[in-house]
Amino acid sequence: MNLSKLNRERIAKVIKNGAILLHGNKIIYRNNDANYQFRQFSDFHYLTEWPEPDAHAVILIKDSIPELHMFVLDKNEEMETWDGKRIGQQGAIEIYGAKKAYSNIEYKNELINLLKDQTDIYCDYSSNVFQEIDQQALNLAVPYDQRGGNFSKAKLHSIQPILSELRLIKQAAEVELLQKACDISIEGHLAAMKFANPGKYEYQVAAEMEKTFFHLGAERLGYNSIVAGGDNACILHYATNREELEEGKLLLIDAAAEFEMYSSDITRTFPINGKYTPEQKAVYSEVLKAQNLGIEMVNTENTMQDIHKATIKSISESLVNLKLVPHGIEDTISMMHYFQFFMHGTGHWLGLDVHDAGSNESNNEPRKLSSGMVTTIEPGIYIRPSKPVINFPLLERDPEKIKIRRKELGMEEATKLEQKEMREAKTVEHKIPESLLGIGVRIEDNILCTEGDPINLTEALPRDIEEIENICS
Ligand SMILES: [Mn+2]
C-alpha cells in the first residue's frame, strides 16, 4: 500500500508533531436488509487505503515521522460468511503498514492511551465520531486541570485544509490511476456513441456504456450517468435517463468510471442519428472553440479564474454570433447575459472525488495552477426550450463583486438584494432563434497541468465533428 504510505509521510512533513484522528465510512442502509454499495471516505482512503467500513485511524507524528494505528472490524467467521471476508488486525499490520492494530470496539479506550501527552490534534470536525467519541476521549487523555472542568487543553486543528492541499497535487502513481479511469471511460463513451440510435431509450444507452466501464474493471461509476437526449441536455444534472431518443436530436452524455477510487469526468454531445444539423454544428463548434482555449490555458501561468474569464469571453462572442443575446460582446459579459446560456463553472479539480478536494484560492487570492493539478475543462451552451423569449436586464453585474457581497451579507440577504436589483432594472426583450431552441452542448475533458504544455488525459475520445460523425454513423 505504497500510495497511502507516501501520503502519510507527506502529511507528517507538514504537521511535524501531533496526532491525526480520521474515521472511515459506515455501511448505509437503503431499505430493510439491502445496503448501498460501500465506498470508503476519500480522505480515509488517501491516508490508509483501507477498504472496509467502520474503521478508525490514528496517526501519531513525531519529528515528521508518522506511525499508523488502525482500528478495524474483528475477524469473525460467522459474520464473514454473511458479509464477506475481513482483513483483520493482522492484515492491517502486514498489508496496510499499521504499527499496531486493534479491534474497532476498543477505539475509545485505546484512543485515551494513544493521545496521552499529545498537544496538537488534527481532526475531522464533520465526522459524527468526532462529536461522539473523539471530544470525550480528548477530555480524558489530555485534560485541563480544573475542578469540575470537563475539557481538554490540547489544541484542535481541522485536518481538511491540510489534506485538501496535499490531494490537490497528484503524485505520479495517482495520475496513472486517473489515466486508467479516463481510458475506461473513453471506451464507454465510444460504445454509447456507436449504440445510440433514434428509438432507443436513454437508459439503454447508459446500460451499454456502463457495461463497458464494468467490463474493463471499473468498480463504480464516478457519479450518476447523465444521458440526456434532446432538450434534456439543458438540465445540467439530468439523471433520470428514461426518455426515448429522437431522430435529429443531440445526445449529451456526462459520465465516467471510477477505477481504484479515482474518477474520470467526461462529457460528449453527439447526434443521435450520426449527423449534426447545421444549427447543432454551429453551437457545437462554438463550445469546442471555447473548450480548446480553456484547455490550452491549463498551465502554471494561469489561475482557474483566468481560464473561466477567457471561456466566458469566448462563449459570449459565440452567443453574439449566434444571435442569442440582444447586445454586443461588452454588454453580454458586463451584464452577465451569457449566464442565461452558460450558467456553470469552466472546471473543477478531479481525483478521488469527481469534484475533488482543493481550493482555487490561496491566502484569499486566486492561485496559479501547479504541475500535478488535474482539472476538468467543460464549457457549454444551453438554449432552454422553455425560454423562447428572454427579458435581459440592463444592469452591470460583476461576478467578483457579487461574490464579495455574498460573503459580507450572507447568501440569504445578498440574493434578495440581487433579485430586487434585477426586478428594478430595465430589460430588453429578445427572441431566441427558433431553430436553436432545445440545443444543449457541453464538452468536457480532464486536463493535467505540467511545467510545460497541458496533458489532456481524455484526448483519445474524439471531439472533432467529423470524427464523431464517423463513430456515430
Ligand atoms: Mn465535471
173 with 162, same domain: the answer is no
- Please check whether residue 399 lies inside any domain of the structure: no
Alpha-carbon torsion angle 416, 420, 425, 430, nearest 10: 60
The number of folded domains in the chain is: 2
- Please check whether residue 197 lies inside any domain of the structure: yes
Question: What's the 428 CA to ligand 1 centre distance in angstroms?
Answer: 33
89 with 138, same domain: the answer is yes
258 with 270, same domain: the answer is yes
Domain at 363, CATH number? 3.90.230.10
Predicted local confidence at residue 258, as pLDDT: 98
N residues, the chain: 473
- The answer to whether residue 157 scores a pLDDT higher than 80 is yes
Question: What's the 180 CA to ligand 1 centre distance in angstroms?
Answer: 17
Q: How far apart are CA 134 and CA 141, in angstroms?
A: 10
Q: How far apart are CA 252 and CA 192, in angstroms?
A: 11
- The answer to whether residue 374 scores a pLDDT higher than 90 is yes
Tell me the average pLDDT across 225-237: 96
211 with 145, same domain: the answer is no
Range name among 18-27, 135-144, 319-328 with the lowest pLDDT average: 135-144
Predicted local confidence at residue 166, as pLDDT: 98
Question: What's the 342 CA to ligand 1 centre distance in angstroms?
Answer: 14
Q: Tally Cβ neighbours within 10 Å of residue 1.
A: 14
**Dihedrals phi, psi of 167, to nearest 5 degrees:** -65, -25
- pLDDT tens, 79-110? 999 999 999 999 999 999 999 999 999 999 99
Mean pLDDT of the chain: 96
Identify any residues that bridge with 377 across adjacent strands, giving them in sequence order.
445
Structural domain harbouring 119 = 2-166
Q: Are 414 and 406 in contact (CB under 8 A)?
A: yes
Question: What's the 82 CA to ligand 1 centre distance in angstroms?
Answer: 38
- Please check whether residue 411 lies inside any domain of the structure: no
Percent with pLDDT over 70 in the chain: 100
Question: What's the 252 CA to ligand 1 centre distance in angstroms?
Answer: 13
Ranges assigned E (strand) in 73-125: 100-103, 120-123
Predicted local confidence at residue 182, as pLDDT: 98
- Please check whether residue 396 lies inside any domain of the structure: no
220 with 131, same domain: the answer is no
209 with 145, same domain: the answer is no
- pLDDT tens, 23-69? 999 999 999 989 999 999 999 999 999 999 999 999 999 999 999 99
Question: Strand 440-442 to strand 250-255: parallel, antiparallel, or no bridges (unpaired)?
Answer: unpaired
Q: How far apart are CA 242 and CA 367, in angstroms?
A: 41
238 with 251, same domain: the answer is yes
Tell me the average pLDDT across 387-405: 92
Question: What's the 7 CA to ligand 1 centre distance in angstroms?
Answer: 26
- Please check whether residue 419 lies inside any domain of the structure: no
355 with 292, same domain: the answer is yes
Orientation angle between helical segments 172-195 and 202-215, nearest 10 degrees: 140
Predicted local confidence at residue 88, as pLDDT: 98
| Sequential DSSP letters for 134-165 | IHHHHHHHSB---TT---B-SEEEESHHHHHH
316 with 381, same domain: the answer is yes
Predicted local confidence at residue 380, as pLDDT: 98
Question: What's the 126 CA to ligand 1 centre distance in angstroms?
Answer: 25
- pLDDT tens, 329-357? 999 999 999 999 999 999 999 999 999 99
- Please check whether residue 420 lies inside any domain of the structure: no
Question: What's the 348 CA to ligand 1 centre distance in angstroms?
Answer: 7
- Please check whether residue 264 lies inside any domain of the structure: yes
Q: Are 269 and 250 in contact (CB under 8 A)?
A: yes
Instruction: Kindly state the helix (H) or strand (E) to which residue 409 belongs, with its residue range.
Output: helix 399-409
Question: What's the 307 CA to ligand 1 centre distance in angstroms?
Answer: 15
147 with 262, same domain: the answer is no
Domain at 103, CATH number? 3.40.350.10
Ranges assigned E (strand) in 32-180: 34-35, 56-62, 65-72, 100-103, 120-123, 155-158
Within 8 A by CB and 6+ apart from 294, the residues are 307, 310, 311, 346, 347, 377, 379
Predicted local confidence at residue 320, as pLDDT: 98
Q: How far apart are CA 333 and CA 399, in angstroms?
A: 10
**Dihedrals phi, psi of 189, to nearest 5 degrees:** -65, -40
153 with 281, same domain: the answer is no
- Please check whether residue 175 lies inside any domain of the structure: yes
Which region holds residue 222: left if phi is over 0, alpha if psi is between -120 and 50, else beta? alpha
Q: How far apart are CA 2 and CA 177, in angstroms?
A: 13
Orientation angle between helical segments 2-15 and 160-168, nearest 10 degrees: 120
- pLDDT tens, 244-289? 999 999 999 999 999 999 999 999 999 999 999 999 999 999 999 9
| Radius of gyration (C-alpha) of the chain in whole angstroms | 25
Predicted local confidence at residue 149, as pLDDT: 74
